[in-house]
Amino acid sequence: MGNPTEFVKEKKYKLSQGSLKDLILNKKDFSMTILYANILLAVVAFFVLNISKEIESANMIITVVIANLAVVIGSSFASIDKKELKEALVKNNKSSEYSWNLGYEVKEFMGSGLESLVEENLTGKYALIDNEIEKRMGGVIGTTGSGKTFQLNGVFEQKISAGGGALVIDGKGTVDQLKTMYAIVGKYDRLDELYVLNFANLNNTNSIGFLNSGNALILSEILSELIEKSDPQWDSVAIDVMSNILKLLVYKRDHEGLILSFSVIGEYLSMSRLASEAILYKDKVDDVFIRDFVNYVCVNTNCDYDKFVTGKTREINTELMKASNNTKVQGVYNFTTASSKWNQILTVFGSNYYNIFGSPHPDIELLDAIQNNNIIIVVLPTSESEATAKKIGKMFLGIIKSAANTKIKKSIEPKIPFTIFLDEYPNYGTVGFARFISKSRAIGLPCWFYFQSIAQLDSIDNGKGIETKELLDNIGTFIIMKNNDAELVKKLNERVPVVVELERYMTIRRTGASADDLNAEKSLNKEKRDAFRSELFNGLSDGEAVIFLGNNYYKVVVKAHDDFTLVYDKLNLEPYFDLPKTFPKSELKIRHFLQRKEYLLASEKKKKLFKDSFF
């Protein structure tokens, strides 16, 4: 029986993906040893050359010195993973332009944002990104209370202070958040550019027009989000009903000046009304949408399209009108059944939300807001009805797609991107929106998503995971705050290099009873492991976060808005906001000036702390 062998793990050394730069340049003692050795060799070469006159020996020593220096210098450019050497963030110097400061880099997390921001724990570096990185989309992930809202307010303030525009969909629907954002906008004297679509208080809201732009197919897609999905077959029939009605109404809007609204659409939810319109417009079938509409009416009433369009006799029209009232005709029955779904939806949205959607002269349209760098805050009625809030949120995602589609054709990309902030996105996310954002970057319309976990995203397509994968693939910047999502950790580890650990083992062969006789042999072993474990993110709190850009990551405390006490309560305790059409500018400008002065004083203090920092 052979002598037993013991393995004793002595110490770990973390390597940076086999980087020669880290092994040499970052090892101060080693670098200094090389430097001193080269100096000594140079001195020896000098004496050899000048005293002994041995030129060949001197040349050999000089060659060794040059070779050593070449190794040290060359190592600064040598690395197995070249991507690690490419800085993802913007350098903090006068010649650089950046869009946002995402946070302050820290050496270690202390379990609280305030504790981590102590001066001795700061590296003195900012997490700065430019417009291009902003346009590559962002995902801010963290549980309730992790600091997502503070982060949102921080970048929102930077966007407003720079003169940029934004659309914020507040998935929580809280008055407190609206007060804070309203005050931030007022702080920079931009309240006349702010529009609040306040579903939580319909007596205090702006109005928006979306039915007066966009084609029939896009509008149909927007409105289809309002349908309570039940039977896929009937859902499809209902969407077909709305699509064909809108083909007629959009034609009338664009050619006859019809002002579209929910109530106007509701007037066309009978086959007899559509039949009478088909009779009036059958001589305009050269237009593709009118032709589709007339054909739809003929198919559902079992009337011959060619005979109807070319016929001029009263009998043909009478036949169509008679068939349109006959529910025994399958097409008429299907239309009547499916249109009943729309009756309730259009009545509710046309009356309950008339102040937002029903105005014949709306305060704002999204495309105009984008072009003019306006600010829109949408407050969903989450506290009143989560189901209604979900429908409205989905509808606004459709409005965003519609505006983007028009923007592609009619406008140029602005210097400052118009950013869309989607708070609590999974609560109203739609299938296909992830595919849209891959195009929105090209027109300067970035979307930043705020949610709690990947499981939430999976609910968008009922657990299929296709929408989740497409969304995560399109997000360029992740800000990970407190959470315990194991699936998220797995996906993050796929984005960054593995950690290589060097472990020293001591192999001991027992050759005798006495310890003095031990013959030890040492060996080295490399082990790879994932860069992150879920425990790291679960321990974050109050704004602590890890920012991922490409395959780089940074430990930070996110930047919140500058004045935590800045809320509308200071001026008015009632939950009523002065909106652009009634805003008393002269009354509030003095308050804004004083707040701006306080802000500048606070900023100067911060600049002293970080004035020499570079990232």
Rounded average pLDDT over 402-413: 72
Q: Is residue 107 part of a domain?
A: yes
394 and 440 belong to one structural domain:
yes
My answer on whether 419 and 560 are in the same domain is yes
Confidence of residue 531 (pLDDT cuts 50, 70, 90): low
Interval 184-230: pLDDT, tens: 998 898 999 999 999 988 888 999 988 887 889 889 988 988 887 77
Using a pLDDT cut of 90, give the percent of the chain over it.
29
Residue 598 falls inside a structural domain: no
Q: Which residue has the higher pLDDT, 340 or 297?
A: 297
280, pLDDT greater than 80: yes
Asked whether the predicted pLDDT for residue 78 surpasses 50, the reply is no
Q: What pLDDT is attached to residue 193?
A: 93
Residue 182 lies in a domain: yes
CATH number at residue 487: 3.40.50.300
CA 126 to chain centre: 20
**Residues 316, 234 within the same domain:** yes
Q: Is residue 254 domain-shared with residue 188, that is, in the same domain? A: no
Q: What's the confidence (pLDDT) of residue 585?
A: 33
**Alpha helix ranges (H) inside 514-561:** 534-538
Q: Is the pLDDT of residue 525 over 90?
A: no
**Which range in 61-70, 89-98, 116-125 is most confidently predicted, on average pLDDT?**
116-125
> What pLDDT sits at residue 31?
56
**Any idea which of 47-56, 201-210, 330-339, 576-585 has the lowest mean pLDDT?**
576-585
Tell me which H or E stretch contains 11.
strand 5-15
CA 147, 153, 157: angle at the middle one, nearest 5?
150
Instruction: Tell me: do 54 and 184 sit in the same domain.
Output: no
Query: b or e along 214-234 (b: 16 or more beta carbons within 10 Å of the residue's beta carbon)?
Result: bebebbbbbbbbbbeeeeeee
Write the DSSP assignment of 320-377 as a string of letters.
Answer: HHHHHT-TTSHHHHHHHHHHHHHHHHHHHHHHTTIIIII-SS-SB-HHHHHHTT-EEE
Residue 229 sits in the same domain as residue 295: yes
Q: Which of 525, 532, 533, 559 is nearest to 544 (CA)?
A: 559
* Both structure tokens of 390: 């979900």
Cα dist. 209→241, 272, 357 in Å?
Answer: 22, 29, 6
What does the pLDDT read at residue 170?
94
pLDDT at 21 over 50: no
Q: Which domain holds residue 8?
A: 1-19+497-530
**Does residue 325 lie within any of the structural domains?**
yes
pLDDT of residue 584: 34
Predicted confidence (pLDDT) per residue in 153-193, tens digit: 999 999 999 899 999 999 988 888 888 898 899 889 899 99
**Is 378 in the same domain as 488?**
yes
Whether 573 is covered by a domain: the verdict is no
Domain co-membership, 186 together with 249: no
pLDDT tens-digit readout, 439-491: 887 788 899 999 998 889 998 988 888 999 999 989 999 999 998 887 887 87
pLDDT computed for residue 92 by the predictor: 64
pLDDT above 60 for 399? yes
Query: For the ranges 82-86, 222-226, 404-408, which has the lowest average pLDDT?
Result: 82-86
Task: Give the pLDDT of residue 248.
Answer: 95
Q: Mark which of 566, 582, 610 sits at the end of a domain.
A: 566
Same domain, 343 and 459: no
Distance separating alpha carbons of residues 248 and 267, to the nearest angstrom = 13
Q: Which residue has the higher pLDDT, 14 or 245?
A: 245
Nearest in space to 420 (alpha carbons), one of 42, 599, 127, 159: 159
490 shares its domain with 552 = yes
Q: Quote the number of domains for the chain.
A: 4
Whether 233 shows a pLDDT value over 70: the answer reads yes
Residues 454 and 437 in one domain: yes
> Which pLDDT score, from 0 to 100, does residue 187 have?
87
As a 3-state breakdown, the chain gives helix, strand, coil percent values, each rounded to 5, of 50, 15, 35
- The Cβ of residue 116 has, within 10 Å, a number of other Cβ atoms equal to 23
- How large is the average pLDDT for residues 79-97? 52
For residue 500, what is the DSSP state? E
Rounded average pLDDT over 394-423: 82
In a domain, 313, yes or no: yes
Calculate the average pLDDT of the chain.
Answer: 76
Q: Which of 292, 316, 351 is the last residue of a domain?
A: 351
C-alpha Rg value of the chain to the nearest Å: 33
Instruction: Give the CB-side neighbour count of residue 271, counting CA atoms within 13 A.
Output: 27
Tell me if 277 sits within 8 A of 296, measured CB to CB: no
pLDDT for 439 equals 81
- The answer to the question of residue 590 being in a domain is no
In terms of average pLDDT, the best of 184-193, 229-238, 590-599 is 184-193
Same domain, 175 and 192: yes
Question: What totals of helices (H) and strands (E) does the chain contain, helices first?
Answer: 23, 14
